[in-house]
Amino acid sequence: MTVAIRPASRAIERVALMINLAVFKRIAAAVLVSGVLAGALLTAVQQVQVSKIILQAEVYEEAAQAATAAAGHDHSTETSAIRSHEHDHEADAWEPANGVERTGYTVLANISMAIGFALFLAAAICVSGRQVGWRSGLLWGAAGYLVFFVAPSLGLPPEVPGTQAAPLHDRQLWWLLAAGSTALGLGIFVYARHRLLKLLGLVLLLVPHLVGAPQPEVHASAAPESLALAFIQATAIANAVFWLALGGLTGFFYKKFA
């Protein structure tokens, strides 16, 4: 009897493994297709509005760097040598040339990012156990927009080139706190049934903003304030389009391939 049970249990395990692999392949296919399409759309939107603002801001940044370098000749020899070394180091740093090369690298970066975020959405949808389509996918995309863009941007708004900022490590840690706390708080608020748990979800949404985002010692920007505000607005619109498209596409292909 025991001998007969063992082959049966092994067969069940193999079937379960095959089912899991099939589900994984379907999710991976949905993530890949959704990420490629959403990343390409984001690039198109950026080319229409965001990239132009960045190029304008870089003009102001280069002018400010040139002015700083010229003013450096009036300081001590040691200070001038240090700034000259830093300037040479920045000049030697590789960056893609404007035009086709820069656009190509932007497309690759956006598609890679979109695939990663699509994987987050697909995993969250899978864990929720709820039916999904392109309409409900839009809601998941809106949640992603709140978690990964709106919440972090309330403390660390998008900045044009040439803007003074807090240390990168501090900003990265606060961004992780904002995104993680918002995702957890939003999930608890939506799925929890008890009122106290929903209240806990609301508290988690506020935690990173009560802690406060790291700020630079001096707030300054080479670009004019109007350009910085235009960049924030353009980035907010581009990310909204991206996340809604990513959510809708992920929901559509998740259902289609499932």
- Token pair belonging to 182: 């918002």
Write down the pLDDT at residue 118. 95
Q: Which domain holds residue 29?
A: 14-165+216-257
Q: Give 27's contacts (C-beta < 8 A, 6+ positions apart).
A: 122, 126, 254, 257
Q: Tell me, yes or no, whether 22 lies in a domain.
A: yes
What is the mean pLDDT of the segment spanning 248-257?
Answer: 91
Q: Tokens 């095959």 — which residue?
A: 18
- pLDDT higher than 50, residue 47: yes
- pLDDT higher than 70, residue 142: yes
Q: What is the band of 9 on the pLDDT scale with cuts at 50, 70, 90?
A: low
Q: Tell me, yes or no, whether 185 lies in a domain.
A: no
- Token pair belonging to 154: 């309330």
- Token pair belonging to 94: 């590789």
- pLDDT higher than 70, residue 91: no
Write down the pLDDT at residue 81. 42
Percentages (nearest 5) of helix, strand, coil residues in the chain: 85, 0, 15
Q: pLDDT per residue over 169-225, tens digit each?
A: 999 999 999 999 999 999 999 988 899 999 999 999 999 999 999 998 887 787 888
What is the mean pLDDT of the segment spanning 149-169?
Answer: 91
Greatest mean pLDDT among 14-18, 191-195, 228-232, 246-250 lies in 246-250
Q: Tell me, yes or no, whether 8 lies in a domain.
A: no
To 10 degrees, what angle do helices 2-45 and 225-257 make? 150
CA distance 11 to 215: 59
Secondary structure (3-state) at 24: helix
Q: Tell me, yes or no, whether 182 lies in a domain.
A: no
CA distance 153 to 14: 47
Q: How many domains does the chain divide into? A: 1
Write down the pLDDT at residue 18. 45
- pLDDT higher than 70, residue 86: no
Write down the pLDDT at residue 71. 66
Q: What is the band of 6 on the pLDDT scale with cuts at 50, 70, 90?
A: low
Q: Tell me, yes or no, whether 194 lies in a domain.
A: no
Nearest to 183 by CA among 132, 236, 117, 249: 117
Write down the pLDDT at residue 87. 46
Q: Tell me, yes or no, whether 152 lies in a domain.
A: yes
Q: Tell me, yes or no, whether 224 lies in a domain.
A: yes
Report in angstroms the alpha-carbon separations of 248 from 38, 114, 178.
10, 13, 24
Mean pLDDT of the chain: 83
What is the mean pLDDT of the segment spanning 88-115?
Answer: 76
Predicted structure pTM score:
0.80
Q: Tell me, yes or no, whether 173 lies in a domain.
A: no
Write down the pLDDT at residue 10. 59
